[in-house]
Structure 1
Amino acid sequence: MSETIDRINLRTMTTPAVVAHYARPWSLSAAEQAAFDRVAPLAHGKPILDIGVGGGRTVDALRDISRDYLGIDYSQEMVDACRQRYPDARFAFADARAMGAVADDSIFLAVFSCNGIGMVSHADRLSILREVQRVLQPGGLFVFSTHNRDSAEFSRGFRLPDFQWTANPARLVVRAARYASETWQRLRNRSRHRPHEVHTEDYAVINDVCHHYGTMLYYVTLDKQREQLADAGFERDAEAYDLQGTRLEGDTRDDSILLVARKRSVSQAMPPALAPCTATA
């Protein structure tokens, strides 16, 4: 199953259209901005690892925190796009499940944005958590987002692409042709990928609408995600933010959740709630 999920997702993430999509100058989400503001005073000037860097959307924001920056991706096409866009930054082709080139306890802040950790199987996801824990310094931070199994998006049925009506005949023909092409693409991908879905009590891997149903994505509840983090060596009750950038006191039905987890320190000198950080979200 791991190889099947890899094959489906990597094929999608290396296509020129998808690489170009992620290379656009997208801004940070409200949740990302809140989390980066939260960790910036602690991570200032310290080593940062940007996992699944994609087309470089998070590069500027993280390099504002520290110039000691490394971005990695398992898509060589994404790495090449980043190198072209940021020739003075460090990027490398690497897989988050086996980051052998990154030394133990060498990173203070690791980031895996855009639900990138959800593009692998359950076993591989746990491997990523252990690898991130390995490379982080004691007390280091891991910021990442994950799809929420408690959201409406998880149980939503098949969705057709959007269609924007226009009275202009030429534009209408172009939009109709695009709509037909995208509808066919969605139907084809859905029929090919949906049989590979995985549903368990603790998590699910589903054929998500992302990139016209060209991906298999992992969904988990906030409670189960926190359990996975604790099992991997992070402090319990990791901070979580909803899509509006509000720190969660309970749960959320948002499509995705952003978490800030801290690697357990040997001395446990640091309190678990990121108390030294005075910045507000």
Structure 2
Amino acid sequence: MRIKEEENSYVVEPDEAKHEGVVKIYRDNATIKLDYEKNQDFINIVKNAGYKWDGTNWGMKIINSKIQGEFKDRRIEIGNILLNNGFAVEFEKLEEAEKAIDGDYIKAPDKWVIIDTERDGDYIRMGWKTNDERMLKEALKIKYSKKINDSCVIIRLSMYNYNNILDFAQNNGFSLTKDNYYIKKAVERLKIKQHRYTPKAYIFEYFDGIKGEQEIYTDEELAMFHYEYTLEHLTDKEKAKLEYFRLFEVEATEEQIQDIKENGYNEDNGTKWIRDIQSYKN
């Protein structure tokens, strides 16, 4: 392959040209665009690479670099693919033209983790490139997880699922550890909240007929041990009331119950327990 320097660009010609003309690769705001005449081979190649027709050009919008990778890598990648299929390609930068010849680019990640900034609270999204039924089932076993699509879940971070999230990430090749800045800050907030009301404190403070001195545990494992042990001795109705308070830190009022009944359940309110809560209060 050889590079021809044009006035404001660089054209790479393949060793064996199979198509006439030149594919122009350029950036238009957040989109990588490809300018070329109508050609079915070209269309098949770029569609397979994830490009979409916008009525004028084939393009790929880079919405999130953690999911799709960097602009320059995606430009180099599509350039390399087209060159290897016998298309001449025009680049705006010499470096990208050279790297396209060598296939020197970073592939888009197969798996990714991003902070969900569209919601209140501590949420993360975990996704993977191809549909994987096993991974989806495993991810949905994590407490407070919800399916977005077949290759993405959203999870509300909690002290009750923190270790499960990290285990899932480690076992499935996600770049997420307890040293992640966002995870560390979220856990700090959660621990402050956790120490206000530990599981045993919930039980002693909010249940009639259960006697004992209220304790606040700062050791999470010890607190969970007492929580799980005590749950074995509660009725289903008592468990329901405890679960509601654990999620909201308040007891369910008649107004809250009515609001949930009228507006339906949602991912955060734990209202699978609502009938038991209503029964318990009656």
TM-score (norm 1): 0.21
Instruction: Give the structure with higher Rg (CA).
Output: 2
Higher RCO (C-alpha 8 Å, min separation 6): 1
